[in-house]
Amino acid sequence: MFEFLFDCSAFEISTTTQLLNNILFPVVLFLVIFWLMCEIFLIDDNLPMVYEEFTSGVVKTQIDEDISDQEDRSNIEKLLASMAATSDEKQSKTALFDIDREGESLKALGVRKLRDFCKNRKIKGYAAVYNQQGIDGLVEFLLQQQIYARNIEQQVEHVEISA
């Protein structure tokens, strides 16, 4: 019954070994290639960045170890606080600038393109907003819906190509 498992000569590979090779080789090959592709393509760009909570704790610990003078310690703490406040201000200004710039680019497209886009996309509520608040309200409505000028331009290009 199990004679094929133990029948081998000095120059032949046993059927058991062949069977294992036929099954395990493709599996192991797939796993190695899959692992390699994951290493190559799933690299997180944020890994080198260190969280601010961690760095501030490390910096404060280093300050406590290196500085013994109370006056210097208070100056450094003020500098750290002002650096954190400055970085927060820069982030909020860039976010506001992007929204303002995006609003201006939406207004530059014109009312007709904005309304046609909303109509073609079947976005509900745009007409009421436009009737009540005009183009400013429509632009704000589209920004709340996370629709930007590049989306509208892409649709206009698509319609022109298909026409």
Task: Read off the pTM.
Answer: 0.41
| Token pair for 47 | 């890994």
Identify the DSSP state of 12: S
**SS3 category, 105:** helix
Mean pLDDT, residues 2-20 taken together: 71
Q: How confident is the model at residue 33 (pLDDT cuts 50, 70, 90)?
A: very high
pLDDT score of 29: 93
Q: Per-residue pLDDT for 127 more than 80?
A: yes
DSSP string, 68-90: --HHHHHHHHHHHHHHHHHHHHH
Q: Per-residue pLDDT for 66 more than 70?
A: no
Q: Per-residue pLDDT for 4 more than 70?
A: no
Return d(Cα 112, Cα 120) in angstroms, integer: 12
Return d(Cα 93, Cα 79) in angstroms, integer: 21
pLDDT score of 120: 87
Pair 139, 106: CB distance under 8 Å: yes
